[in-house]
Every structure is written in C-alpha cells, then in structure tokens.
C-alpha cells in the first residue's frame, strides 16, 4: 500500500451559521493548514498514487484567499471542509483541517 501526504496552508475567511450565539457568526479569517492523505495499492501509469499538483489544484486553488461562505455550498465548519476536501480526490481517505493552533478536525472514510 502506498500513501501520499500533501500539506497545504491557505488563508481564507468564513462565518458560521449556528443555532447558538457565537463570535464565529461574524466574518473572520484563519490561516488554515489542510493535510490530505491518499492511498492506493497500485501506482498509476505515471508511477504515482496521485500527483501532488492535482491535490493542490483541487483544494488550494479553490479555497485560498477566498470567503468560504461564497465558495462552498454548505455551512463552512472545519468538519464540513474536511469532508468536502476528501470528496474532491478519489484516492483520499483522510483529511486534517487545522483552523488554528488548538483547533483541528480529522475526517476519515470508513
């Protein structure tokens, strides 16, 4: 089994739509760290699990320096972002989204 790990840093803003009062309901930004884990038993015709550039294009180019509420069709919680990232890359099985030093979400496919 081969595993590829791609770590990216993005700057993006969001505001959360919550059922309780929170300062996160106001537009604010983070320097997000997103780590994507992909795996395959067999390498493709290029000798790769997935090209690192493909991962970057699927994630960073879509989210960096953006308002996530305008780019994504859901309430942009770290949990939803992790699920969305995982669904962008077929070989992906795990995503870590860190929105600040102490706040990290991990999504793993079953």
* Total count of domains within the chain: 1
Pairing of strands 66-67, 103-108: unpaired
Q: Please state the pTM of the whole predicted model.
A: 0.95
Cβ-based neighbours of 89, under 8 Å, separated by 6 or more: 36, 38, 50, 54, 55, 58
Rounded CA Rg of the chain: 15
d(CA 110, CA 73): 24
The whole-angstrom distance between residue 46's C-alpha and the CA centroid of its chain comes to 25
Question: Residue 110: what pLDDT?
Answer: 83
Question: Residue 80: what pLDDT?
Answer: 98
Provide the CATH number for the domain around residue 43: 3.30.479.10
Nearest alpha carbon to residue 95 among 29, 17, 83, 53: 83
Domain that holds residue 93: 2-108
Question: Residue 50: what pLDDT?
Answer: 97
Q: Average pLDDT across each block of 10 residues of the chain; the chain has 110 residues. List them in order.
A: 98 97 96 98 97 97 97 98 97 97 95
Pairing of strands 92-100, 103-108: antiparallel
């Amino acid at each position: 089994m081969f595993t590829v790990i791609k770590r990216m840093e993005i700057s993006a803003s969001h505001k959360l739509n919550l059922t309780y009062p929170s300062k996160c309901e106001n537009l604010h930004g983070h320097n997000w760290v997103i780590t994507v884990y992909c795996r395959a038993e067999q390498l493709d015709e290029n000798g790769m699990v997935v090209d690192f550039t493909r991962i970057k294009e699927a994630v960073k180019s879509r989210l960096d320096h953006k308002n996530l509420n305008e780019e994504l069709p859901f309430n942009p919680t770290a949990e939803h972002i992790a699920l969305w990232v995982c669904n962008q890359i077929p070989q992906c099985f795990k995503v870590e989204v860190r929105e600040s030093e102490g706040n990290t979400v991990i999504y793993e496919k079953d």
